[in-house]
Structure 1
Amino acid sequence: MATIKVKQIKSRIGAPIDQKSTLQALGLRKISQVVEVEDTPSMRGMIRKVHHLVEVVK
């Protein structure tokens, strides 16, 4: 299955608890950390929820 690389670009400090939980579910803990996740509709929704804290890396 296809994968997406996601990079955290901003801090989770000050973000609502549900967005912090979403970052944790994506596997992101630190700024500039890159994780590779499967390209599924649920993962796309999670990325969309925290789009201001992460970016999709090619």
Structure 2
Amino acid sequence: MGEMRITLVRSTIGANRKQRATVAGLGLRRVNQTVVKQNNAALKGMVAKIHHLVRVEES
């Protein structure tokens, strides 16, 4: 499996508690921060829940 670059592009202000927890679970703390994670089903599910807050690049 490949890797995913996940960048937080919108603030979590106004997001609900579960969405904030998902962002924190991905290791994102501030806007424009990027993390690289191994692509798997659990990660895709997390990204799907916060797709409006992040930008995803698959490699």
TM-score (norm 1): 0.93
Distance in 1 separating the partners of 2:21 and 2:48: 14
2:7 match:
7
How many residue pairs were aligned? 58
Runs of 4+ in structure 1 over 6 Å off: none
Task: Give the Å deviation of 1:57.
Answer: 2.8
Matched residue SS, 1:44: helix
Instruction: Give 5+ residue unaligned stretches, structure 1.
Output: none
Task: Give the Å deviation of 1:27.
Answer: 0.6
Instruction: Give 5+ residue unaligned stretches, structure 2.
Output: none
TM-score (norm 2): 0.92
Distance in 1 separating the partners of 2:19 and 2:37: 17
Alignment root-mean-square deviation, CA? 1.0
Task: Give the Å deviation of 1:12.
Answer: 0.3
Amino acid at match of 2:36: E
Amino acid at match of 2:42: S
